[in-house]
Chain A
Amino acid sequence: MEKIVLPEIDNLHVLDVYVQNGGFTAAKKAFSQSSDDIIDQVKKSGLRGRGGAAFSAGLKWSFMPKTTDKPKYLCINGDESEPGSFKDRQIFEYNPHQLIEGILITCYAIGAKIAYIYIRGEYHKWVKLMQKALDDAYTAGYVGEAMKEKFGTDFFCNIYIHKGAGAYICGEESSLMNSLEGQRGYPRVKPPFPAQNGLWGCPTTINNVETIANIPPIINKGWEWFSKIGEPKHPGTILFGVSGHVNKPGVYELPSGTLLTDIIFNYAGGVPGNKKILCVIPGGSSMPPLRGDQLEGVKMDSESLKAAGSAIGTGGIMVMDEDTDLVKVLARIAHFYHHESCGQCTPCREGTGWLEKILKRILAGNGSVNDLDLLITVATQIEGNTICALGEAAAWPVRFMVTRFRDYFEARVSKEINLEVANKVHSMRHTAIPLAEIKN
């Protein structure tokens, strides 16, 4: 199978090698066409965002205003902080120039003169690797004012790297913009959407690293070619990061729609000791977990996973064998979201703390059966009541894991009803005003 984003070419991270293998020919081709044509091709290719929401990339670009007196910006989201995701660092390390070329084409399509690559702070090594690639591209005249001459065009753009400093929430696009502006990384209320009111109030597009690395091949080989790879509704290859209880963890670039069991057993080498699988989280820690008996026939693309009761997320597949302590796993996940909640919205700030507290109580052996109801009640009241999706990210794993593994969790709590907890569940359910009523 052909690899699009991470082709197996030695030293592809070196500019000369990249150029020898057809590098920057897509940019040249793109600059000879109109920007509308480029957006149209990306739309038709069916490319969907690889950062989690799987939104159409071309459609997102088309939201950028055509006429405006404000500068336009492109942000590349390389915050990659979702537990279970480790794909973008492969692009920074092994194919940085394809990302740079993708940025040039995207800037041209949306009319941006400046692009920022936001890379998480912990990735010191990959910030340096990306900076080196960028410096080389500048020196050779592929980026900046010199590209006018290089490509024989009037268009040019500058690319800068912005290093984060350790905050999961900055992977959320509006939080990323606030962080880039030099503020606390608080997510913004939407609307207005970034295409209208983004960085410094200017039209801005934010795309994931992997999404943009897909652009040069689409322009070079055509949208028809791309749209035929993998599942038609979510075409192309996806970088699947497999971690946890497998023999060969790592990143595998495979066509969308590859069977989840195929990835786990054929590519990642199966479960050590031939143990049974208890649970798989298919798209990074915030996506609904699947039971071991729910994996058969599940295809790894956005639509198929939705039908299977989960979501593609960032394609980070976490495998847990039959000896895994799921209560411990869920308590750890709850701790993560509590730690990372930015604290703006009360349901998330307080709710994530409660989820962690209750799960730690169960883990310590002091839980009662109605603690499970309390977990679901708290989770349900975070969801949909927050500015950004961290609310859902914290609530989903809890709600789905407790529901799908009800027997497992019941075996870990006392059957006796704790009246204090029961009271809490009861009162919360009755005082919570349904969202629909608030809107009226």
Chain B
Amino acid sequence: MDFKFTPENIERINKEIAKYPVKKPAVMATLYIAQEQNGFISNEVIKEVSLLLNMTAEEVLGVVTFYTMYYQKPMGKNHIQVCTNVSCMLRGGYEIWNQVKEKLGLENMGVTEDHKFSLEEVECMGSCGTAPMLAVNEDYYENLTKEKVEELLKSLSQPLS
């Protein structure tokens, strides 16, 4: 199935392109926008982005695979990222990681069948002073305790009214 950007998104991409002397540097922002619209980076997305920015599909794929924040498969609606790097680990990061893993029944990079949740073990997110932490999509949750995580997962499981 072909992928086409919405007119609004084309406008956003043009604003990104205007920041640079050439088109190519806008690839990172364009991929974010594509991921937002499509849910993940498919081969069709890569093709469309490459046409839009005068790049080869291989160049775009190279960017997609180099960075950890572009996903080549659909992730959950709530993508949970738990940091287990040293500062978080010293303050219970692995306990939080195991708790979320058990609760959702997922391994690293796993997605629940209903696509409501996915899980990722991430490297340092820059929350060392407010450790342990996890992020749900773009939002940080810091100074976590087991109770807070329990509550958070519960609130995310509830259907949206």
Contact = CB atoms under 8 A, between A and B. Distances in A.
Nearest to B125: A122
Given A89-B126, A243-B128, A184 B66 contact: yes
Contact of A329 (B62, B89, B123, B126): B89
Contacts of A164: 28, 67
Contacts of A285: 85-86, 124
Contacts of A89: 126
B80 to A, nearest CB: 14
B90 A182 contact: no
Nearest to A245: B90
B138 A124 contact: yes
Interface residues of B, number: 43
A244 B127 contact: no
Given A80-B126, A82-B124, A122-B125, A163 B131 contact: no
A182 B24 contact: yes
Nearest to A242: B129
A215 B59 CA distance: 38
Contact of A162 (B25, B63, B84, B140): B25
A183 B62 contact: yes
Interface in A165-214: 165-168, 179-185, 200
A382 interface: no
B32 interface: yes
B135 interface: yes
Interface stretch (A53-61, A96-104, A333-341, A422-430): A333-341
Interface in A224-271: 241-245, 249-251
B84 A84 contact: no
A336 B28 contact: no
A320 interface: yes
Given A86-B129, A200-B21, A165 B86 contact: no
Interface string B80-103: 000011110111000000000000
Nearest to B26: A182
Contact of B68 (A82, A167, A180, A336): A167
Given A165-B68, A249-B128, A340 B29 contact: no
A166 B25 CA distance: 16
A185 B22 contact: no
B1 interface: no
A83 interface: yes
B25 to A, nearest CB: 4
B160 interface: no
A168 B85 CA distance: 13
B130 interface: yes
Given A122-B122, A168-B123, 15 more contacts: A80-B126, A81-B126, A86-B129, A121-B67, A122-B69, A122-B135, A160-B20, A165-B28, A166-B67, A182-B53, A184-B62, A184-B63, A185-B66, A318-B87, A328-B89
Interface of B: 19-22, 24-29, 31-32, 53, 55, 59, 62-63, 66-70, 84-87, 89-91, 122-131, 135, 138-140
Interface of A: 71, 80-86, 89, 116, 120-125, 160, 162-168, 179-185, 200, 241-245, 249-251, 281, 285, 316, 318, 320, 324, 328-329, 332-333, 336, 339-340, 342
The 5 closest A-B pairs by CB, nearest first: A165-B67, A243-B128, A166-B68, A182-B24, A124-B138
13 contacts: A81-B124, A84-B87, A120-B126, A122-B135, A162-B29, A167-B68, A182-B24, A182-B53, A185-B67, A242-B129, A244-B90, A285-B124, A329-B90
